[in-house]
Structure 1
C-alpha cells in the first residue's frame, strides 16, 4: 500500500470537515496531513485519526511539495490558488465550480467515468452535488439503453449553501416559534416553511446557474453532447440531502421491470422502491450515507414518447461532495 501526503484547503468548512471524516472512515493511506484555512481559523486545532493538527493559514507563500490536495475553496479562491499549487508532484481534486467547464480538466464521478482521470494535467474537478446525485442514479440505465433527454426537478437542502444555510433555517424556525421576525441573509427569502425556486443567478433566458450546471456537466461526464436536459432547481427547508425527480427518455424502449433490475445492481445505488409498503427514498434516510437511493420507478408518456420516471435522494455533503472527492483520489491511486 502506498502512502501519500495530503493537504486540505478550506478545511474548516462543511465540505472540508467531511473530507477529513471520509479520509478517516475509508482508512485512506496517508503519510502526513496539512490543513489550511483563512487567517481567522489559523492556529486552531482539529483532531484527526487521534492526532491534533494545527490549521495553517492559506496565503501566497504556501507550497505543497508532493501528494494529494483536496480543495474545498470557493470559486474565486480556487481560481486564485490552485494554478499556483500545480506541479508534477501533486494532484489537486477541486470541489468548486472554477474548472468544471475547462476542457483540460477531467470532471469525474468514479461510478460513471473513472477512466477520465488519466487525462488530468494536475487538477481533477468534482462535479456539482446535484449532478453527482442524478448521474449516479441514471448511469447504469444509460449504459444499457442510451438516454437522449431528461426532465429534472431538484429539491435541495439548505446545507448546500454551507453551514450558514443550516444556521439560517434553524434560526428562522426558532424565531417564528417565538413570534419574532427573522431577516433572510443567506437565501433571498425566508426558507423556513417555504420553497425558493432559485439557486444561483439567472441568465438571459431565465435559467439559473445551478440548472445549467446539470446540463453542461452531464454532457461532459457522459461524453454525450447531444443530451437534452430541462432542469428546475428548488431550495427546500430540509437540513441535509438533496432529492430529485427525474424523467428519462431513451433511444430505445425500456420497461420499468428492466430498469428496476438494472438499478438493483448499479454501483453506488440503493434501490428503495416498494410503494405498497410506502418505501421510497427520503432525505432523512439518505443523510450520512454514500449511496444514492432510487425509487418511485414508473412508466410515463409525454407528447407521444414513453419514458421512465424516478425519484432519488442523496447526501450532498458526502456523496455530492466530500465522498466523491475521496473516491476520485482512491481511483487515481489505483490507475
Structure 2
C-alpha cells in the first residue's frame, strides 16, 4: 500500500522507516514528508532513494496511511487535512491523545476499539506505552488500584539535539573541544534532570500528567490512581521505570511471573541469583518491553515493585505506530 511518513528525516521518522522495512510492512510506494527546509532531500528505504515532499504533495498523492512523527502543532494543523482526504493518520504527537473523539492505542491492549471511521489515531507517550504493556496482564487478573512510577528516560526522547549535547559534553570532558547545542537548561552528562516538559499548575510536569491521564484512557479504567515523577538521565538505549503497583486482589509472585511470561510484547528478565535484570543497553533496537526486579512491597498489602525497560524510539514510538498500521491492515480497517 501507499504509505506516507511525516517527519521522515527526524529521529522517530527515521526509526519508523527502519521498522517498516524490518517488519516487511507492505509498502508499494513510500512518500517521505518533512519540513519545507527538507523538501527535495533524498532518503533511502530498502535500498531505493525517495525525494522528500511537502505536506500538500503528500495529501495529493493519496496514501492509504500516514505515520506522523511531527510536533503537536504540526499535527494539529495537518492531521485533519490528511483525514479529510480519506487518509488514515497514526500520530505520534501529544495533539490528539486526550481528545475524547480519538482513540489512544497500544495494540497489545486496546486495538479492538478501532474502526474504519477512525481517521486520526493517537500513539501514546513513550513512557506510558512501556508501563501499560507490562501492567495490563496484571490489571486483567488483579485490578490495579494505584501506580507510583519514577522514570529514568533516555536523551533520545528529546531528540537529536539532546544526543548531540550529551556526546558533546562527554567529548569535552575527555579534552576534545567541540561545539554542541544545549537541548536542556543544564548539563546532562554526569547529571540527572528531574524535569521533562514544562511544569503545570499542580507542580507536575506535562510528561508526568501524560502518564497519569493516558494510562486511564488506554486501560479503559478511570478508577486507577497514578502518580509519576519523570527524570531525564544520560543514557541512549531506552527508558527505564521503577513501578510500584497496588492491586485490589491478592496475588502470588510466581503467578505474576507466569502472566508476564505469557503476555504479548513482554520479556521477563528476573534472576537475582545471576544479577539478571533489564537494562537500556539490552533493550536498544528491540521491540519488546522488558520486566524484572519483581518483589513484594512488604509495607502494604497486594503491592508489587517492578522494573520496566524499553527502547523509547521503537516500542515507545515507531514500532507501536507501525503495529497500529499492521492491525488496521490485517483487519481491513483502512
Q: Which TM-score band applies after superposition, normalised by the shorter structure?
A: over 0.9
1:320 corresponds, among 316, 319, 328, to: 316
Helix, strand or coil at the partner of 2:170: helix
Q: Give CA-to-partner distance per residue, 1:24-76, whole Å, 9 cap, x none.
A: 10000122111111122111111112211111133598434240101111011
Structure 2 distance, partners of 1:300, 1:111, is: 27
Structure 1 distance, partners of 2:152, 2:283, is: 14
- The count of aligned residue pairs is 331
Structure 2 distance, partners of 1:181, 1:43, is: 30
2:294 corresponds, among 289, 297, 302, to: 297
Q: Give CA-to-partner distance per residue, 1:301-321, whole Å, 9 cap, x none.
A: 34x433111001000000000
Q: Give CA-to-partner distance per residue, 1:88-109, whole Å, 9 cap, x none.
A: 6321000000000001110000
1:129–1:320 CA contact under 8 A, matched in 2: yes
> In structure 2, do the counterparts of structure 1 residues 120 and 131 end up closer, same or farther at CA, with 3 Å as the change threshold?
farther
1:9–1:73 CA contact under 8 A, matched in 2: yes
1:175–1:182 CA contact under 8 A, matched in 2: no
Range 205-214 or range 63-72, more displaced: 63-72
> In structure 2, do the counterparts of structure 1 residues 64 and 146 end up closer, same or farther at CA, with 3 Å as the change threshold?
farther
Q: Which residue of 2 aligns with 1:133?
A: 130
Asked if 1:28 is matched to 2:25, the reply is yes
Helix, strand or coil at the partner of 2:84: coil
Q: Give CA-to-partner distance per residue, 1:109-167, whole Å, 9 cap, x none.
A: 00111112227531011000000010111111111111111100000000000111111
Q: Which residue of 2 aligns with 1:311?
A: 307
TM-score, structure 1 normalization = 0.95
2:249 corresponds, among 252, 256, 270, to: 252
Structure 2 distance, partners of 1:320, 1:187, is: 21
> In structure 2, do the counterparts of structure 1 residues 66 and 37 end up closer, same or farther at CA, with 3 Å as the change threshold?
closer
Asked if 1:161 is matched to 2:158, the reply is yes
Q: Which residue of 1 aligns with 2:228?
A: 231
Q: Which residue of 1 aligns with 2:328?
A: 332
TM-score, structure 2 normalization = 0.95
Asked if 1:170 is matched to 2:170, the reply is no
Runs of 4 or more consecutive aligned structure 1 residues displaced over 4 Å after TM superposition: 59-62, 179-184
Q: Which residue of 1 aligns with 2:41?
A: 44
2:271–2:277 CA contact under 8 A, matched in 1: yes
Structure 1 distance, partners of 2:58, 2:40, is: 16
Asked if 1:76 is matched to 2:73, the reply is yes
**Alignment root-mean-square deviation, CA:** 1.7
Q: Give CA-to-partner distance per residue, 1:196-240, whole Å, 9 cap, x none.
A: 000011112210000000010000000111110010000000012
Structure 2 distance, partners of 1:177, 1:50, is: 37
Q: Which residue of 1 aligns with 2:219?
A: 222
> In structure 2, do the counterparts of structure 1 residues 256 and 237 end up closer, same or farther at CA, with 3 Å as the change threshold?
same
Structure 2: unaligned runs, 5 residues or longer: none
Structure 2 distance, partners of 1:300, 1:92, is: 42
Q: Give CA-to-partner distance per residue, 1:266-318, whole Å, 9 cap, x none.
A: 1000000001000000000000000011000000034x433111001000000
